[in-house]
Chain A
């Protein structure tokens, strides 16, 4: 099990790869769409990469609940 910090770092790497987000800008309170400018299709790519990286299943109907980086971290902690 990774720590929350490690998951944030992992998500930051994915966000950089998918959408060119600066990893230094990624923290738990940031909103994917509002703060990090991740559009709906990039969010799908982030989710798919996160599934592979963290060994979780994130169904389509859960994606809309992941508003912030922290939401994603909590989901991964709870479901990995």
Chain B
């Protein structure tokens, strides 16, 4: 049976670095408090005119350049985002136009912070169904547009950026590299994290979301390993949504990942919602910290509340 593999990755972050000390000048906070609570040292913030589509396009361009494929080979583009201001054309169409892809299936997908894993699964399923052969999957966010810069409980958390993956159908006899997805949601907790109204700002019940993430997500992640036929001790890297270093540690502790690198891109990028997993993963691969073919556990969770995880083989 045909499956799919992630064959290359790319990422983009805006050039402007915003440190904790800078934030301490606009709200009542401190570098020490932010590091202690969420583990963030700095984040990247996009320029005024820089859009979600701009960032997604650059990340996708880099992923495509590393794939050995050309734009004409791509027949599907999926962009996970919850922060694109423009509704139409969607971000995926803009990315396709930027790359010169002629006629791909092009859609945006919004499950907030779990979006990249949902989008990767959707691409994998399309490929398995024969509806696509080579897909570009992007997570891209400009959360600075949705941030209340007077709210010290949230404005310290978020950053902007994009990460992308090229996913292709497996050849005859080749092992699939994208494992079965375990996805779902917790609609009963829908009001604990909101980006509502116009104009919208990100708001969350931090304690409730923290509790859900550290208690409900570990069993989901273990299920993703089980469905992939991979023991947690074999996982080479754990790339969770970069929400908060203490959530990442809390989940990792419950998974018994004895041999895994725990991605902590949050330290230098903050929480970039749907962009955080491909951003962190792309950097790990770029630094050659994970061997090609090694199993990597992706675990997205966030607004909705939604979650999605799968084990992939490192490109």
| B contact residues, range | 10 to 19
Contact with A along B28-43 (1 / 0, CB 8 A): 0000000011000000
* A39 to B, closest residue via Cβ: B37
Cβ–Cβ contact B37 & A41, under 8 A: yes
Contact with A along B176-220 (1 / 0, CB 8 A): 000000000000000000000000000001111011001100000
Cβ–Cβ contact B208 & A45, under 8 A: no
| A contact residues, range | 10 to 19
A36 within 8 A of B: no
Which residues of A lie under 8 Å from residue B210 when comparing CB positions?
41, 44
Which residues of A lie under 8 Å from residue B215 when comparing CB positions?
48
Q: Which residue from A41, A47, A63 sits with its C-beta under 8 Å from B246?
A: A41
Bound CA span A48–B210, Å: 11
Cβ–Cβ contact B211 & A48, under 8 A: yes
Cβ–Cβ contact B207 & A45, under 8 A: no
Which residues of B lie under 8 Å from residue A43 when comparing CB positions?
207
Bound CA span A47–B212, Å: 12
Which residues of A lie under 8 Å from residue B66 when comparing CB positions?
none
A40 within 8 A of B: yes
Number of inter-chain CB pairs below 8 Å: 26
Given contacts A48-B211, A48-B214, contact A40 B206 (CB under 8 A): yes
Which residues of A lie under 8 Å from residue B37 when comparing CB positions?
39, 41
- Chain B nearest CB from A64 CB (Å) reads 8
* A64 to B, closest residue via Cβ: B207
Which residues of B lie under 8 Å from residue A34 when comparing CB positions?
none
Bound CA span A29–B211, Å: 26
* B213 to A, closest residue via Cβ: A44
* A61 to B, closest residue via Cβ: B208
Which residues of A lie under 8 Å from residue B244 when comparing CB positions?
41
Cβ–Cβ contact B250 & A45, under 8 A: yes
A25 within 8 A of B: no
Q: Which residue from B208, B214, B250 sits with its C-beta under 8 Å from A60?
A: B208
- Chain B nearest CB from A55 CB (Å) reads 16
Bound CA span A40–B37, Å: 9
Cβ–Cβ contact B206 & A60, under 8 A: no
Bound CA span A68–B62, Å: 54
Bound CA span A43–B244, Å: 16
Bound CA span A63–B210, Å: 13
Bound CA span A54–B212, Å: 20
Bound CA span A39–B207, Å: 10
Contact with B along A58-76 (1 / 0, CB 8 A): 0010010000000000000
Apart from A41-B37, A48-B215, 7 more pairs, CB < 8 Å: A41-B244, A44-B214, A45-B214, A45-B250, A60-B205, A60-B208, A60-B211
Residues of B within 8 A of A (CB): 36-37, 205-208, 210-211, 214-215, 244, 246, 250
- 20 A-B pairs in the complex with CB atoms less than 8 angstroms apart: A39-B36, A39-B37, A40-B206, A40-B207, A41-B37, A41-B207, A41-B210, A41-B244, A41-B246, A43-B207, A44-B207, A44-B211, A45-B250, A47-B211, A48-B214, A48-B215, A60-B205, A60-B207, A60-B211, A63-B207
